[in-house]
Chain A
Amino acid sequence: MKPKDIAIQPFLDSRHGLCPGCGSAIAMAHIQSIVSQALPSGKIKKIRSMVIPASCWSIGSGFDGVSFIGTNLVHTPFIAGVTVGEGISIMSKRRGVNNDEITIVWAGDGASFDIGLGLLSGAAIRNADILYVINDNQTYGNTGAQESGATPKGAKTQTSPEGKTIAQKDILEIMMAHKIPYYASIALSVTTLDDFYTKVRYAADQSGFRCLHLLSVCPPGWKCDAAKALDLAELAVQTRAFPLVEVTGGCLRLTKPKREKPIEEFLKHQKRFDGIIDSPEALLKFQKQIDNRWNYLLNLTRPA
């Protein structure tokens, strides 16, 4: 099944409160549309609920009891989303409907890399039957773009005005260490659409703890043009700033971008990186980091 065969259903009500150009908003509509169609095994699953720990979606996805995303919503405190999702999924299993419905936890990078990391680890190692989406915009978006564990080193945020000085956490390796059945990084853009659809469909079809690491372009946080969201997602992949990987059964697969570009092509559209763009030395260092990371991942793809 090709992406064009999946009609984007009107999951996202126009009253939603996400920003213009929000990468997460468009990904939400696509992911819900994909999950709600017949999956590769032929199964059709109903989304039991979208569990939302504190994030832009806490205030953007509905009001006064009305869901603007077409499915049930369960809001939770910042730290608790993944385990609340686990509790809901255990009840699906006890009622014998765990193959017919799916619980999705849609958590930001703050909720996943930082405040909720302990609970995320617990739910992952228990192999909780949920689809966990890390909606990663590399910053605390809802509070106005402060530094998170997912912020790339060197990027400026409201709490790192001179650029982040410490490393970006490696969520891929953290999740790999938990031996979960499925992990994939995904980016929504024209040239990555096939990859995006294939991974989301596969993840929705499986059971157990499945993690999708979604790169969400955040125009206010990244200080970029709102019309550039899809282009920036594509550039993140093409410059290897956001490598597309897939981990099944402990084996890592790395998708080589079709058209490779130097890192500045991704950085130059975002004011958060102007400290790097303005310094040839910093740019070189940044490129080196990207290359090292890529080679490191490439090594992981080779059988031991």
Chain B
Amino acid sequence: MNNKLACGKTILTGNKAAAYGFALAELDVFGGYPITPSTEITEEMALLASREIISTTYRNTDSELASMALGIGVATAGGRYGTATSSQGLALMFELLHWATTAQLPLVIVNTNRSLGAPWSIHPDQTDSLLFRDLFMPQIYCTSAQETLDMVLWAYRLSEDPQVNLPVLVCLDGFMLSHTAETVVIPAQELVRKFLPEKRFRKDLILPEFGDKKIINLQCPYNWEEHSRRKRALVSAMQSAYNAIPEIAGDWFNIFGKDYDNGFLKISGDPNAKVVVISMGAIIGTIEEALAEKPVKVIGLRFFRPFPEKELRNAIGNASKIIVIDRSILPNGHGVIADELRLAGGACGYNGADIHSFVGGFGGQNFSEENFLNMLSAVLSEIGPLKKTYWMGDAP
């Protein structure tokens, strides 16, 4: 059955854009379970499937655990699967998410970012998805509704790359992006099929096709050599994902004409600036606007996993100050991106540049343009980073 999805220019919220990404990916099965703020994705998929606008089998599951279990089953049988969740839901999936990554089952989860409790909060920070940074699972962060739609399709391309075969997580900030309507161009299904062909199978990782006499035992215990080989294969799958991303970005440009550069980063501002600002997600747009007249370069991480070390090194260049804005906090007092940068580039940061780490955005703390301007002047007036982390809104 062919999709009867209308294409062309329209206005969509981030959540609906994600749903249209799923719809265009022509899934076999979508597993739905509601959680704020991702619910609209699930509702839209239920609507599109039950009105037979798409031929996807939609199931209301009984928990996020069940929606992940369903995905493991569908992917094990060679089907294309998607689901959407947020925060507590993603956390509940953890055991099965780890299982799906280590079983190398391709599927896509859209996570509408929301603070992970306690305490209760439906506001967006990135503590939910970043908790999963140790999984063998590429993570994409979107800055606009259009990018959200596009990245869902990228996610399937990457997930089903025969050298990758991993679940992929697509993140969009709750409310800021999920509930904000923007102009979006829904691409034509024929073009999407050129970009994302029918699912390709790695036969050793899934059930044999109907009629195949081969008998397989998936995820049984192995001797230590094979078990180690599987662990190494995961590392190389992540490396393959790293290598595949520029190629995906190139294909996207060739088919749709939209330039995502090498895919990893969204870079704007003064190319020769001595100050770079690094962050991730929907606040990138606000940062860009706030600092538009300043001599800074703004770098948004589109991919957090695999962590784009090489691309960051190039983008940071000879900058002398690096400002990192995180909406997450670790037990060592670092924001997650700042921590990754310090780990990857040494304690002094890339190329000797100092890292000025800012964290905040918890429990609904809003960042205004003024916050970013204050942040910049505080950094510029300092010789080196005096504290390891500044909390947004505190007097530096």
Contact = CB atoms under 8 A, between A and B. Distances in A.
A72 B213 CA distance: 10
B296 interface: no
B99 A119 contact: no
Contact of B76 (A58, A77, A88, A118): A88
Interface residues of B, number: 39
B218 A84 contact: no
Interface stretch (A32-40, A61-69, A269-277, A281-289): A61-69
Nearest to B28: A94
A75 B73 CA distance: 11
B120 interface: no
Given A77-B99, A119-B63, A88 B73 contact: yes
A171 interface: no
B222 A80 contact: no
A85 B73 contact: yes
Nearest to A105: B73
A10 B182 CA distance: 62
A91 B77 contact: yes
A136 B80 CA distance: 34
A-side interface mostly: mixed
B235 interface: no
B210 A84 contact: no
A10 to B, nearest CB: 13
A119 B69 contact: yes
A304 to B, nearest CB: 29
Of A90, A91, A101, A118, most buried by chain B (CB within 10 Å of CB) is A91
Given A72-B207, A77-B96, A61 B217 contact: yes
A72 B71 CA distance: 19
A74 B62 contact: no
Interface string B58-73: 0111110110111111
Given A59-B221, A119-B65, A83 B70 contact: yes
A126 B73 contact: no
Interface in A111-136: 118-119, 121-123, 126
A116 to B, nearest CB: 9
A87 B69 contact: yes
B3 interface: no
A76 B71 CA distance: 12
A87 B217 contact: no
B98 to A, nearest CB: 9
A35 B121 CA distance: 51
Contacts of B208: 72
A87 B220 contact: no
B214 to A, nearest CB: 9
Contact of B220 (A46, A62, A84, A93): A62
A64 B210 contact: no
Interface in B25-71: 28-29, 57, 59-63, 65-66, 68-71
A111 to B, nearest CB: 12
A147 interface: no
A127 B99 CA distance: 25
Interface string A120-156: 0111001000000000000000000000000000000
B107 to A, nearest CB: 10
A95 interface: yes
Given A72-B208, A74-B207, A92-B77, A84 B69 contact: yes
Contact of A75 (B74, B207, B219): B219
B349 to A, nearest CB: 40
Nearest to B210: A97
Contacts of B57: 90, 93-94
A228 interface: no
B62 A122 contact: yes
B95 interface: yes
A79 B220 CA distance: 16
Given A87-B74, A90-B73, A94-B57, 19 more contacts: A46-B210, A48-B77, A49-B207, A61-B220, A72-B208, A74-B219, A75-B218, A76-B69, A79-B95, A79-B96, A84-B70, A87-B69, A88-B73, A88-B207, A90-B59, A91-B77, A91-B78, A119-B65, A123-B66
Interface of B: 28-29, 57, 59-63, 65-66, 68-79, 81, 95-96, 99, 207-208, 210, 215-223, 226
9 contacts: A73-B218, A73-B220, A76-B219, A83-B73, A87-B69, A91-B73, A91-B77, A91-B78, A100-B210
